[in-house]
């Protein structure tokens, strides 16, 4: 992977900080209602998610939109869910069942136990800091999800669904050639219509 240029990193960091400030300003009530609305949209409007036997999700931190209403709905229709653990080799997904205790990991994350076997989901619910209508995202700066999507895609197609609040949208993410756009982007306002990313000069 090509190293990030310092100006681009600085620009992404500035955008990340601005967007996360907007997200932090949302009330707890707005966050809870938004999480429920986004879950309902995903269940109704992305039918291909139902075909994934194992869905990679995440446990929310700070002011992230809460995917747990979606996780509960996935359990209710008989799907299995895996949560990520941050390791030196990248994200490792392990199955999580309702009610199982999670352990504290780095970055304030809650993660499945280390004694559970690693598994490869065929669909991912992806957290993010900012997004645009090309399906590009700004994460939290470590590149874990970009690497995970690349790794999982070697096994076959991986359905990627970004989930966020509408205040996290920006006009354009300064994407790099290795960045992979998400298949779907969903907020509390519904599914975001995504446009094809422009071809970049190499």
Beta bridge partners of 54: 80
6-191 under CATH 3.40.50.10420, yes or no: yes
CB atoms under 10 Å from CB of 83, counted, come to 25
Separation of first and last alpha carbons in the chain: 15
Nearest one of 70, 97, 63, 59 to 161, comparing CA atoms: 70
Question: What token pair was written down for 11?
Answer: 């620009």
Amino acid 161: pLDDT:
98
Stronger pLDDT, 74 or 109, i.e. the higher one: 74
Residues in the chain: 202
User: Domains of the chain: which residue ranges?
Assistant: 6-191
For 118-175, the pLDDT digits (tens) are 999 999 999 999 999 999 999 987 789 999 999 999 999 999 999 999 999 999 999 8
Q: State the average pLDDT over residues 68-74.
A: 97
8 Å CB contact between 48 and 122: no
8 Å CB contact between 155 and 147: no
Note the pTM of the prediction, 2 decimals: 0.91
For 154-163, the pLDDT digits (tens) are 999 999 999 9
Name the percent of the chain lying above pLDDT 90: 73
Q: What share of the chain is helix, strand, coil (3-state, %, to 5)?
A: 35, 20, 45
Which pairs from 102-111 meet CB under 8 Å and 24+ separation?
Answer: 102/59, 107/61, 107/140, 108/61, 108/62, 109/59, 109/61, 109/84, 109/85, 110/59, 110/83, 111/59, 111/83, 111/84, 111/85, 111/86
Amino acid 179: pLDDT:
81
In Å, how far from its chain's centre is CA 43? 16
What is the DSSP code (8-state) at residue 200?
P
Question: What token pair was written down for 162?
Answer: 């970004």
Question: What token pair was written down for 100?
Answer: 């199982």
């Amino acid at each position: 992977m090509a190293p990030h240029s310092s100006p681009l990193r600085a620009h992404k960091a500035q955008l990340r900080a601005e967007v996360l400030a907007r997200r932090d300003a949302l009330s707890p009530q707005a966050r809870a209602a938004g999480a429920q609305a986004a879950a309902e949209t995903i269940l109704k409007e992305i039918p291909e998610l139902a075909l994934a036997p194992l869905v990679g999700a995440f446990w929310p931190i700070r002011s992230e939109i809460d995917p747990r209403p979606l996780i509960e709905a996935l359990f209710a229709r008989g799907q299995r869910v895996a949560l990520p653990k941050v390791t030196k080799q990248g994200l490792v997904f392990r199955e999580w069942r309702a009610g199982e205790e999670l352990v504290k990991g780095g970055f304030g994350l809650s993660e499945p136990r280390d004694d559970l076997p690693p598994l490869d989901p065929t669909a991912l619910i992806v957290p993010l800091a900012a997004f645009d209508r090309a399906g590009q995202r700004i994460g939290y700066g470590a590149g874990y999800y970009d690497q995970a999507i690349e790794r999982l895609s070697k096994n076959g197609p991986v359905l990627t669904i970004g989930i966020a609040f509408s205040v996290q949208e920006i006009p354009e993410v300064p994407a790099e050639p290795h960045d992979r756009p998400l298949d779907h982007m969903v907020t509390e306002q519904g599914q975001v219509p995504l446009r094809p990313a422009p071809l970049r000069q190499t």
